[in-house]
Structure 1
Amino acid sequence: MIELKQISKVYGSGNKKTTALSGLDLTIGKGEIFGIIGHSGAGKSTLIRCINLLERPSTGEVWINGVQMTRLGKKQLQKERRRIGMIFQHFNLLSSATVYDNIAFPLRLSGTPKSRIDEKVKELLALVGLEQHGSKYPAQLSGGQKQRVGIARALASEPDVLLCDEATSALDPQTTDSILKLLLDINKQFNLTIVLITHEMHVIQSICDQVAVIHQGGIVEQGPVANVFLKPQHPITRDFIQRESDQGESLQELTGTASGASQPVKITFLGDKTYESILSQTVRRTGVDFAILQGKISTIKTVPYGQLIVRFEGSDEAVQRTLEELAKQGLDVEVMN
């Protein structure tokens, strides 16, 4: 669906040259919600703007639906861009136009008949839950309502791809969740490919299928959200997840107060196993005791997961047998140093 090949973006020249992206490769499948996460200055906004060539890469190729965007002339590029919707952090609405006219704007630009414009705008107002707000102006709307207008406008040309540039960063947590739910519903209803950039792991965890972590202009880790979130490999990824976990006490503080010399063990449950009594049944069979040092249950998109950090008490042989039995039952077991 979307393929970026060796994308680089350099600003300036000579001593003032700045490299925003460096030899970046990325593939995004049809119908996926693909998250790109990174700190400020990592290159994520440049990356998403290279997809629709609002920023033209210095080197590399951008392919969308089998079309090499980087080879298109101006007229062809404008035509292809109609298949790519985009929503922004600060909404970018026309302040002097009504909600209705903001949504109708791209349709008028493309020469859509007036009767079809009216029909389409009403459909989109209903889709984003703003049926009663068509005659209002952006200044009369809340932040969440403005973003819903932005989403409706982006969908007006019936795109194949929706790019979201920090679309929830200016919103409060409750409004953020409602916008994420709307994007998830749109993805399901239209099989729309969504590329979403953010610096918030909560956003990735809530709706994304795949995630790429960008740092200093390159992708340092990527894969299914559950894999990356539950077993992060890169220090930048671990930092994002640690900030998201909101668990005040560090593992060192927790284990420092525990008696005994056994190492803590992180046990991860995914899917239906999250709610099964696997741990208690296993320790009854192996004859060990355990103390829970830390734990949480949450969801990744719609899939439940749980993580426990425990300290087992028993003979080395019994503890080892416990770890092996837990692993055989499909749990991820990690002895922590």
Structure 2
Amino acid sequence: MIRLEGITKQYHTGSKQVDALSGVDLTVARGEIFGVIGHSGAGKSTLLRSINLLERPSGGRVFVDGKELTALGAKQLQSERRRIGMIFQHFHLLSSATVADNIAFPLKLVKTPKAEIERKVSELLSLTGLEDHRHKYPSQLSGGQKQRVGIARALANDPQVLLCDEATSALDPQTTNSILNLLLDINRRFGLTIVLITHEMHVIRSICDRVAVIHGGRLVEQGPVTEVFLKPQHPVTREFIEQVTDPVELPSSGDEAARLLRLTFLGDSTYEPILSRAVQSTGVTFSILQGTISKLKDTPYGQLVVKLEGDGEAVKQTIETLRANGLDVEVL
């Protein structure tokens, strides 16, 4: 659906050149929710805006639904952009227009018939839970309500792609979750392809199918969220994982450390008593030092840090049994 090939972006400040993006290759499949996470200044906003050419790359090619946007003239590009909705961190609403008029604005720009505008606005007000706010102005709305208006406006032209520029970073945690649930519902209901950028791993964990980690204008890691979250390879990725996990304090004894394990459960095995069954068969005892059960989008997962005590051979057999039952076992 979306393909970026060798995207570079340079800015010039006086005689100095700043490389915002350096050779970025990225593919987003139709209908998936793809997240890009990075620290401030990493290049994630520049990357997102390169997709609809609000930021024209210095080099490389951008394809959306099989069309190379970087090869289009101004008029053709304007037409293709109508198929790409965008929502922003600070909403960008028209302060002197009502909620209904803000949603209708993109439709009026393309001279949509009045009856069709009314039908579409009513449909989007219902979709985003704003029916009772039709005649209100942005100053009368909460942050979450403003973002719902922004989402409704972005959907007015029935886009195939929705770009989300830090769409929840200005919101409190409860409102963030409601907006994420709305985006997930829209994705499932309409098969809309969503690309979002964020600096919050909670956002990635909640709704994304795949994720790319950007650092210094380069993608340093990418893959399915389950893989990147549970087995991070890059130090920056590990930093973001620590946002939503507690650090592990390991005993100082070398002998104990050799018997410390991190167990990762994924899918249905998360709720199975695999550890209990494994130690029953080997006579090893265990204590849990840390544990969590949660979800990565719809996939349940669990991680336990445990200390095993028993005969060395029995501990080894326990580890083999755990791995044979599909657990990822890391000896700490």
Aligned to 2:200: 200
Question: 1:262 and 1:150, CA in 2 relative to 1: closer, same or farther beyond 3 A?
Answer: same
Q: Does 1:311 align with 2:317?
A: no
1:259 shift after superposition: 8.1
Matched, 1:274 2:270: yes
Q: Compute the displacement of 1:311 (Å).
A: 1.3
TM-superposed deviation, 1:167: 0.0
Match of 2:140 in 1: 140
Gaps of 5+ in 1: none
The aligned amino acid for 2:66 is G
Choose which of 298, 303, 310 in structure 2 pairs with 1:302: 298
Distance 1:199 1:138 in 2: 26
For 1:291, the equivalent position in structure 2 comes to: 287
- Aligned partners of 1:52 and 1:277: how far apart in 2? 49
CA contact (8 A) 1:262 1:312 kept: no
In the aligned structure 2, how far is the partner of 1:258 from the partner of 1:101?
A: 67
Q: 1: distance between equivalents of 2:62 and 2:90?
A: 26
Larger deviation, residues 170-179 vs 270-279: 270-279
**Which residue of 1 is the match for residue 67 of structure 2?**
67
Q: Distance in 1 between matches of 2:257 and 2:2?
A: 51
Supply the distance in 1 between the matched residues of 2:165 and 2:203 (Cα, whole angstroms): 12
- Say yes or no: does 1:224 pair with 2:220: no
Tell me how far apart the structure 2 counterparts of residues 114 and 261 of structure 1 sit (CA, whole Å).
71
Distance 1:187 1:212 in 2: 19
Shift of 1:316: 1.8
Shift of residue 263 of structure 1?
Answer: 3.5
Q: 1:258 to 1:144 in 2, by over 3 A?
A: farther
1:66 positional shift = 0.4
Q: Assess if the C-alpha contact under 8 Å between 1:88 and 1:166 holds in 2.
A: yes
CA contact (8 A) 2:251 2:257 kept: no
> Could you tell me how far 1:79 is from its partner in structure 2?
0.0
Query: What is the deviation of 1:14?
Result: 6.6
The alignment-based identity, stated in percent, is: 68
User: Shift of the alpha carbon at 1:261?
Assistant: 5.2
Q: Give the alignment of 1:54-133 within 5 angstroms.
A: 54-133=54-133
Provide the rounded CA distance (Å) in 2 between the counterparts of 1:269 and 1:261: 21
**Could you tell me whether the CA contact under 8 Å between 1:255 and 1:293 is conserved in 2?**
no
3-state SS of paired residue (2:15)? helix
Q: Distance in 2 between matches of 1:268 and 1:310?
A: 11
Deviates more, 1:316-325 or 1:40-49: 316-325
Query: Which residue identity does 2:34 align to in structure 1?
Result: F
- C-alpha deviation, 1:111, in angstroms: 1.3
Task: Report SS of the residue matched to 1:12.
Answer: strand
CA offset at residue 304 of structure 1? 1.0
Q: Could you tell me which residue of structure 2 aligns to residue 172 of structure 1?
A: 172
CA-CA distance at 1:291 after TM superposition:
1.5
Superposition deviation, residue 314 in structure 1: 1.4
How far is 1:15 from its partner? 3.1
Over residues 101-129 of structure 1, what are the superposed CA-to-partner deviations in whole Å (9 max), with x where a residue is unaligned? 00000000011111100000000000000
Q: Is the 8 A contact 2:31 2:191 kept in 1?
A: yes
Cα deviation 1:136-190 (Å, max 9, x = unaligned): 0000000000000000000000000000000000000000000000000000000
RMSD: 1.3
Q: Is 1:50 paired with 2:60?
A: no
**Which amino acid in 1 is paired with 2:300?**
P
Q: Name the SS of the counterpart of 2:180 in structure 1.
A: helix
Contact 1:11 1:20 in 2 (8 A): yes
Q: Which letter does structure 2 place at the counterpart of 1:292?
A: I
Q: Any stretches of 5+ residues in structure 2 without a counterpart?
A: none
Q: Number of matched residues?
A: 332
Structure 1 position 243, deviation (Å): 2.1
Q: Which residue of 1 aligns with 2:317?
A: 321
Residue 16 of structure 1 deviates from its aligned partner by 1.7
Map of 1:161 onto structure 2: 161
> Which has the higher mean CA deviation after the structures are superposed, 263-272 or 131-140?
263-272
Residue in 2 aligned with 1:2?
Answer: 2
Alignment partner, residue 181 of structure 1: 181
Supply the distance in 1 between the matched residues of 2:148 and 2:23 (Cα, whole angstroms).
Answer: 35
CA–CA distance in structure 2, aligned partners of residues 177 and 258 of structure 1: 43
Say whether the 8 Å CA contact 1:7–1:61 is kept in structure 2.
yes
Give the alignment's TM-score, normalised by structure 1: 0.96
